[in-house]
Structure 1
Amino acid sequence: MPRDAAGTTLPPEQPRGLILTDLIELLRLAGPVILSRLGIMVMGLTDAIVVGHFSARQLGFHAMAWAPSSVLITMSIGLLVGVQVMTARAIGAGKPHDTGAVLRRGLVYGAWIGFGGAAVLAALGPLFLHSLGLKDGLADGATHPLIVFSLSLPVYALSVVLSFWLEGLARPGFAAIAMWLANGVNLAVNLLLVPGLFGLPAMGATGAAWSTFVARTFLTIVLGVYVLRMKDARVLGVFDKPKPNRAAEIEQRRIGYGAGASNFFEVSAFAGMNLICGWIGDLTVAAYAAVLNVAAIIFMIPLGISTATAVQVGRAYGARDPAGMTRAGWIAFAVTGAVGVLAALLLFPLKGWVAMAYTTDPAALTLIAPALVLTCFFLAPDAVQVVTAQALRARGEVWVPTITHLISYALVMGPLAWWLAIPKGMGLNGVVIAIIVTSFLSAGFLLARFRILDLKDRRVSPSPLAGEGGGAAAG
């Protein structure tokens, strides 16, 4: 039988009523998560705008420093997705106390990931940048901000664990509030350090990196205090040392391995576009940074929907409700596609204003505006593919999304972008066209796999009502 967020068994409903119920629940969960994810990107947007208006050249340094940092950050986020999924599954199975064990495992794992990532980025990041043959002194200018970015990885990983745990409990509200408070801190420190106010030296891109460090530390502390002071923290097992559960530990990491690998392939490919742009020139790097930042901000909406989808599908998995997994997934895909189309329709007429928000440099504006037009064409498929991938992981399908992202982003997008941008002479527009092709390819693969699992579960559990069969969810 299906259960609500508190683990209470719900009576069967007719399919039409379930669709409406799931849609309302999706929107309820997705709203705060979207605000939280937007907060993440607004932090990067704040950095880019403050640095860009200080100096277009410093914006190029910031973009090149952020590129390798973003790979490790998003890979860490993927590795920790198991916290979110396992928490939702425990709630769906009516075992809220088990969520405390999920949190504790996640914090330990997150600490290892954060410190390990920081060491790798600080030690190898500068060497990597200098090995790429970048023009216009980009590697030298990006080295200091890259090292500062590395220092914030441990605290950021812990904040991800705490946020994912709250979201898995279907309580994303405070995580969103904390993220926006952290944005206020980030803006204040940016305005102080980037141009160098009150007699401080102007730090440019390095000042923006320090702002990120301060804001992430603030976010982690606020979330940690909130979790410890939750009224039902003891009921949820927050203070109880969990019994050893090797199977649960392996499953939590296994989900993260697949998501982490997917994120690595996808974000590495997007970061690799910085390399292609760097072979063209520093203004192209700055223009790509602006275009990618716009797309990434919009992407936070489907990313928030993907979290809500994972919670719904994960609860249905824990409740052994294959019909619920199917229903939650396709409702989310439809909503996400509509959001992507709407975002494109809004961005197209506003492209000029959006470009000028990043820089007033005429040469950069001539690159950014046409690339934003092309960006409109990949917003919907890119949104759908991330939601579908997360829905697949929540229903126990870990490696198909990873393989799909390997093929689409690592094997197709990179070579295609290079060929269009440099040999074909299309520059930044060629890079964006490659992203369009790859987004449709990835979305098509993942939707097909979700449909195959639907048909498989229908053969195992033919009832249209929730909770009447085991299907794949019993696995």
Structure 2
Amino acid sequence: MADDLDFDGYPAVFSPAHKQTLKDLMVLAWPVVLARIGIMTMGLTDAIVVGHYSSEELAYHSLAWAPSSVVLTTAVGLMMGVQVMTARMRGEGRYDEVGAVLRRGMIYSLKIGVVAMILLALIGPLLLPRLGFQDGLGEGAALPLMVFALSMPAYLISVAAQFFLEGLGKPKPGMWAMWIANIVNIGLNLLLVPDILGLGVHGAAASAWATFGARTALAIFLVIYILRQPEARAWGLFRKPKRDRAIEQEQIKVGLGAGASNFIEVGAFAAMTIVAGTISAQATAGWAIVINTSAIVFMLPMGLSSATAVLVGKAYGAGDHEGVKRAGWIGMGVVAALATLVGIIIWPTAHLITGAYSSDAAVLAIAAPALALATFFFVADAIQVVAAHANRSAGDVAMPTVMHFISYGLVMIPLGWFLAQTMGVNGLVWSVVVASLVSGVLLGVRFHIISKRAALTSHQA
């Protein structure tokens, strides 16, 4: 091991261990990245089909998606414990207990999914018309929101299954399942949004029904795939596990930390959508295009963050503290390089990208310059999400949540509201730039402290 370290105790840049970790990251990351891109491609398909059908319906869709995305992303974070604990079990060599992790995850997903469905379906339509949106946007978004709510249980079941496979180092089935679900979503959108079948539902509500169908198909496919695996019995999927309260509590704790962070971050972005809704329907549609495109880009660091979390979690479970440090920093370095490349590509082509969403000149005049500006936060946003996942997988659950609250709750929301008063949608984008920089710096420094502390403990032992 000493040959792989420089004078500061950090891995030598081109050491064999470093190269192996990079290889492992990329092998695991590319299917996860494609799976995460598949998630957002559903939203992209919805936005494009609905946007070309009607800019007004696109605004409805965006406002319905805002509260839905807050609840959904929070719930997905709550399931993060499935991925982390499965990877740790692998690191500890306890393959016969990974089934217990999934069984707990499935129970959590059903409970959380039903609660999320009820909250969104009952409370959302009551609040939207009372938030002061312009042009009747709140009333128009109520029905799509109710339909989105119905798909929550099925989607969270699929998330638990996908996280389980990724934790096992088997990300490809989840990738293929996601893209099959996208094919289902595209077909249903093309049929339902213009109401070709004459069902009496069109636009944003019809697109929400397409999402329901795709999510249900995704859950069914993944559950059947896992149950049919030859290793299913060896994993302990078909037997009731013995109670292990320490593992159960750790799985819940990791999920609570990730869920709280997701709630803060996505809630802040939903607040920006609400601010846009107080400006005009065109501003809301323009912001929807910017945030949807940025969210698709964000799936690249989300995929790499999951791959990094699996490698860090596996090393943490094995007691390999040098591996923890190595996996975290390599993950952050790779994602910074890729996010920079994506920003360089999107910045000069922003007008072409926004044109794919809508043909409304007023909307495009807002969206195109705002999307070009949004490329400024890609790198910082990418680093912060990878760093947050690396910290949690290394046992640091609470601090990433605190840092997300500082960055997105205390900085982005008030700054976005203030800048939007004079700069419109561009002001919202600038608030994201500042918040992402704050978050990236805080979480990067935190991982430096956590990984160095772990390495020193390992060396002393």
Deviating more after overlay: 130-139 vs 199-208 = 199-208
Q: CA deviation at 1:199?
A: 3.5
Q: Residues 84 and 168 of structure 1 are in contact (CA less than 8 Å); yes or no, is this contact kept in structure 2?
A: yes
Q: CA deviation at 1:98?
A: 0.8
The code of the aligned residue for 2:291 comes to: L
Q: Secondary structure at the match of 1:438?
A: helix
The code of the aligned residue for 1:101 comes to: A
Unaligned runs of 5+ in 2: 2-11
The code of the aligned residue for 1:28 comes to: V
Q: Residues 391 and 450 of structure 2 are in contact (CA less than 8 Å); yes or no, is this contact kept in structure 1?
A: no
Give the match for residue 113 of structure 2: 114
Q: Percent identity?
A: 50
Whole-angstrom distance in 2 between the partners of 1:44 and 1:99:
32
Give the match for residue 166 of structure 1: 165
Give the match for residue 6 of structure 2: none
Q: Render the CA deviation track for 1:12-48: whole Å, top value 9, x for unaligned.
A: x998001000001000000100110000000000000
Give the match for residue 92 of structure 1: 91
Q: Residues 67 and 271 of structure 1 are in contact (CA less than 8 Å); yes or no, is this contact kept in structure 2?
A: yes
Whole-angstrom distance in 1 between the partners of 2:177 and 2:58:
27
Q: Render the CA deviation track for 1:408-442: whole Å, top value 9, x for unaligned.
A: 111110000000001xx100000000000000000
Give the match for residue 222 of structure 1: 221
Q: Which runs of 4+ in 1 moved over 4 A?
A: none
Whole-angstrom distance in 1 between the partners of 2:385 and 2:197:
44
Q: Against the structure 1 CA distance between its residues 14 and 430, is the aligned structure 2 distance closer, same or farther, given a 3 Å change threshold?
A: closer
Whole-angstrom distance in 2 between the partners of 1:198 and 1:265:
40
Give the match for residue 402 of structure 2: 403
- Say yes or no: does 1:151 pair with 2:150: yes
- Say yes or no: does 1:437 pair with 2:427: no
Give the match for residue 6 of structure 1: none
The structure whose residues are more often helix, as a share, is 2
For residues 172-187 of structure 1, the aligned pairs below 5 Å read 172-187=171-186
For residues 434-473 of structure 1, the aligned pairs below 5 Å read 434-462=431-459, 469=461
Scaled by the length of structure 1, the TM-score of the pair is 0.93
Give the match for residue 263 of structure 2: 264
Q: CA deviation at 1:462?
A: 2.9
The code of the aligned residue for 2:358 comes to: T
The code of the aligned residue for 1:446 comes to: L
Q: CA deviation at 1:201?
A: 3.4
Q: Secondary structure at the match of 1:461?
A: helix
- Say yes or no: does 1:141 pair with 2:140: yes
Whole-angstrom distance in 2 between the partners of 1:293 and 1:73:
16
Q: CA deviation at 1:129?
A: 1.1
Q: CA deviation at 1:246?
A: 1.1
Q: Residues 325 and 452 of structure 2 are in contact (CA less than 8 Å); yes or no, is this contact kept in structure 1?
A: no
Whole-angstrom distance in 1 between the partners of 2:188 and 2:161:
24
For residues 147-296 of structure 1, the aligned pairs below 5 Å read 147-201=146-200, 203-296=202-295
Q: Render the CA deviation track for 1:149-182: whole Å, top value 9, x for unaligned.
A: 0000011110000000000000000000000000
Give the match for residue 390 of structure 1: 389
The code of the aligned residue for 1:445 comes to: L
Whole-angstrom distance in 1 between the partners of 2:454 and 2:175:
35
Whole-angstrom distance in 1 between the partners of 2:26 and 2:169:
12
- Say yes or no: does 1:361 pair with 2:360: yes
The code of the aligned residue for 1:131 comes to: R
Unaligned runs of 5+ in 1: 2-12, 464-468, 470-475
Whole-angstrom distance in 2 between the partners of 1:90 and 1:310:
13
Give the match for residue 27 of structure 2: 28
Whole-angstrom distance in 2 between the partners of 1:360 and 1:39:
25
Q: Secondary structure at the match of 2:45?
A: helix
For residues 410-421 of structure 1, the aligned pairs below 5 Å read 410-421=409-420
Q: Secondary structure at the match of 2:133?
A: coil
The RMSD of aligned alpha carbons is: 1.3
Q: CA deviation at 1:237?
A: 1.2
Q: Residues 195 and 201 of structure 1 are in contact (CA less than 8 Å); yes or no, is this contact kept in structure 2?
A: no
Q: Secondary structure at the match of 2:94?
A: coil
Whole-angstrom distance in 2 between the partners of 1:426 and 1:351:
19
Give the match for residue 325 of structure 1: 324
Whole-angstrom distance in 1 between the partners of 2:201 and 2:126:
25
The code of the aligned residue for 2:112 comes to: I
The code of the aligned residue for 2:432 comes to: I
Whole-angstrom distance in 2 between the partners of 1:202 and 1:264:
31
Deviating more after overlay: 137-146 vs 448-457 = 448-457
Whole-angstrom distance in 2 between the partners of 1:116 and 1:312:
32
Deviating more after overlay: 128-137 vs 101-110 = 128-137
Give the match for residue 380 of structure 2: 381
Query: How many residues matched?
Result: 451
Q: Render the CA deviation track for 1:383-410: whole Å, top value 9, x for unaligned.
A: 1100000000000000111000111111
Q: Residues 68 and 148 of structure 2 are in contact (CA less than 8 Å); yes or no, is this contact kept in structure 1?
A: yes
Deviating more after overlay: 288-297 vs 15-24 = 15-24
Q: Residues 420 and 430 of structure 1 are in contact (CA less than 8 Å); yes or no, is this contact kept in structure 2?
A: yes
Deviating more after overlay: 156-165 vs 191-200 = 191-200
Whole-angstrom distance in 2 between the partners of 1:461 and 1:190:
54
Q: Residues 273 and 431 of structure 1 are in contact (CA less than 8 Å); yes or no, is this contact kept in structure 2?
A: yes
Whole-angstrom distance in 2 between the partners of 1:199 and 1:248:
52
Scaled by the length of structure 2, the TM-score of the pair is 0.96
Q: Against the structure 1 CA distance between its residues 202 and 119, is the aligned structure 2 distance closer, same or farther, given a 3 Å change threshold?
A: closer
The code of the aligned residue for 1:352 comes to: H
- Say yes or no: does 1:428 pair with 2:445: no
Q: Residues 145 and 209 of structure 1 are in contact (CA less than 8 Å); yes or no, is this contact kept in structure 2?
A: yes
